[in-house]
Structures are given as structure tokens and as C-alpha cells.
Amino acid sequence: MSFIKFLGTAGARFVVMKQLRASGGVWLSVGKTNLYIDPGPGALVRCLNSKPKLEPSTLDGILLTHKHLDHSGDVNAMIEAMTEGGFKKKGVLFAPRDALEEDPVVLKYVGDYVERVEVLRENSAYRIGDIRFSTARKHQHRVETYGLNFDLSPHTLSFIIDTKFFPELPNLYRGEILVIHVVRQKPIGEDPIDHLSIEDVKSILKIVKPRLTILTHFGMTMIKAKPWVVAAELEKELGLKVIAASDGMKLNLEEV
Ligand SMILES: [Zn+2]
């Protein structure tokens, strides 16, 4: 069974630091392959407390879309868990170069536990077991950041990770299932952090028209506006299926 499970839906600093939502990232399972995306603070605990339990030693890889803390806080703990305390050298770590080299978020001795490290670059294709994915161009975010397009035939699944909106953005992520990181309900003038708002999401959905859109990575304004209410309003306005992720939500990809 192929599935994605949200072990966190928090985005940006306040929701993460207060743990108003969990910040564990996403577990993706396709065929026999398990990939962990963005192990933010609490990822290890959320895996082990998950029902049924998600066992980190069954992971084949860990992927960082970028090095910000809400995406990488537990990366070292998760690598250690994947490799059974470092005693079993295995797995692949995918990360942008700046997460590994300048002010790195992966400790050197922990990085040595993985079998190989693959540096994420623009417009590149990657494969790990049964999972194939590609990056598009670099996002407009303060650190090197990539979104992801998964080819999970028969389905395509895209993740629009943190970014400022730019005109080409919708066309880079044409997955039938589209996961969007939407931090803000309303745009703010000069956003120093570069995140998407619901207005940006509307612009994206009008072009991409995904079969299913999943909103996640919520900041304070989204939490206050109740993400499920915002999703229902979008669904009504656009005539497309839109849901808001909740902590622990699991989606069976064969049933979508
Ligand atoms: Zn983020």
C-alpha cells in the first residue's frame, strides 16, 4: 500500500515553537520504499507514537527540501534511527548543498551513517527504490529550497514547499495530487520570510487544477482562520477538491 502520512502540519516559527501543530514532516511510502520528507522538531517522537507505529529503521531515505529548522530540526535523530544508531550503514540523504556545507544542519559523524548523500539541484531527477522524483527551479526562499514532483505511476504527486510566489510557480508543479505549504491566510506587503498566502494558492489552483489539493504547513493566521474552513471555502469558490491536512492524517495513494 502506498501512502503519505502527515506527522506535522505546522509552518513557520510561532506555530512550531508553541507546537500548536506538530512539526514532524511527512512519511511517504511507495511499494517497498519509505522516504521521510522534512523531519522537523518532533519527527522521531511522532513516528514512534504514530498508530500504527512508523518504524524509522524501515526508512530507505531522508530528504530535506531546505535547511530551515521547521524542516530539519530532527534530521540527525532520524538518520540515527534509520541506521539503528549508526550500526547499520544504510539509506540515502537528499539535501540542498547549503544544508550540508555552509552552516550545515547534518552533523558530520551522523552524516557518515548513511550509505550515500545526494545533493539536490535544480531541474534534476532522482530515484530511491520504488520512488522517482524530480526538482524544479530553486524556490524564492532565504535558503536553498526545492519543491518536489513525484512520479508514482499511476499517480503524480507534487509538493510546493516554502517559497515566495513567482509567475512560473504553478507550471512547475502539475501533480494530480498537490500538497501546498501555505503559511499565511492573507498576503503581507513585504514578507521577509517569503511564504505563500491563500491568494497565491488560488492563483496556483486556477492554473494547475489538481484532482486533490492538500493544504499544510500553517502559520498563525491560517491556524486562527481554521484551515478546514479555508479549505472548504476554496473548494466552493474554485470547484476543486481541497482539504486541509491535520496532524496524523494518512492518505492512501491508491484510493485517491
Ligand atoms: Zn517552513
* Region 92-108 average pLDDT: 96
pLDDT digits (tens, 9 = 90+) for 36-77: 999 999 999 999 999 999 999 999 999 999 999 999 999 999
Please tell me the distance between residue 40's alpha carbon and the centre of ligand 1 in angstroms.
9
Pairwise CA distance, residues 138 & 142, whole Å: 11
Task: Look at residue 155 in the predicted model and tell me its pLDDT.
Answer: 85
Nearest to 71 by CA among 111, 119, 37: 37
Task: Look at residue 190 in the predicted model and tell me its pLDDT.
Answer: 65
Task: Give percent of the chain above pLDDT 90.
Answer: 91
User: pLDDT at residue 139 above 80?
Assistant: yes
* CA atoms within 13 Å, Cβ hemisphere of 191: 19
Please tell me the distance between residue 69's alpha carbon and the centre of ligand 1 in angstroms.
8
pLDDT range class, residue 256, cuts 50, 70, 90: confident
Task: Give percent of the chain above pLDDT 70.
Answer: 98
Task: Look at residue 191 in the predicted model and tell me its pLDDT.
Answer: 59
pLDDT digits (tens, 9 = 90+) for 160-213: 999 999 999 999 999 999 999 999 888 876 656 689 999 999 999 999 999 999
Please tell me the distance between residue 230's alpha carbon and the centre of ligand 1 in angstroms.
19
pLDDT digits (tens, 9 = 90+) for 220-238: 999 999 999 999 999 999 9
Please tell me the distance between residue 236's alpha carbon and the centre of ligand 1 in angstroms.
27
**Which cell goes with 194?**
517569503
CA dihedral 177, 10, 172, 35 (to 10 degrees): -70
For strands 242-244 and 250-252, give the pairing: unpaired
Rounded alpha-carbon distances, angstroms, from residue 96 to 36, 47, 84: 15, 24, 24
Instruction: Return the CA Rg of the chain.
Output: 17
Please tell me the distance between residue 8's alpha carbon and the centre of ligand 1 in angstroms.
11
Please tell me the distance between residue 88's alpha carbon and the centre of ligand 1 in angstroms.
30
Q: Give φ, ψ of 130 to 5 degrees.
A: -85, 0
Nearest to 51 by CA among 255, 249, 251: 249
Task: Look at residue 153 in the predicted model and tell me its pLDDT.
Answer: 81
User: pLDDT at residue 14 above 70?
Assistant: yes
Q: What is the DSSP letter of 121?
A: -
E strands, the chain, are 3-8, 23-30, 33-37, 61-63, 92-96, 116-120, 125-128, 131-134, 148-152, 155-160, 177-181, 212-216, 242-244, 250-252
Q: Give φ, ψ of 38 to 5 degrees.
A: 55, 70
pLDDT range class, residue 7, cuts 50, 70, 90: very high
Helix, strand, or coil here: 27? strand
pLDDT range class, residue 154, cuts 50, 70, 90: confident
Task: Look at residue 79 in the predicted model and tell me its pLDDT.
Answer: 98
Pairwise CA distance, residues 158 & 150, whole Å: 6
- Residues by chain with Cβ below 5 Å of ion ligand 1: 70, 162
User: pLDDT at residue 113 above 90?
Assistant: yes
Pairwise CA distance, residues 140 & 138, whole Å: 7
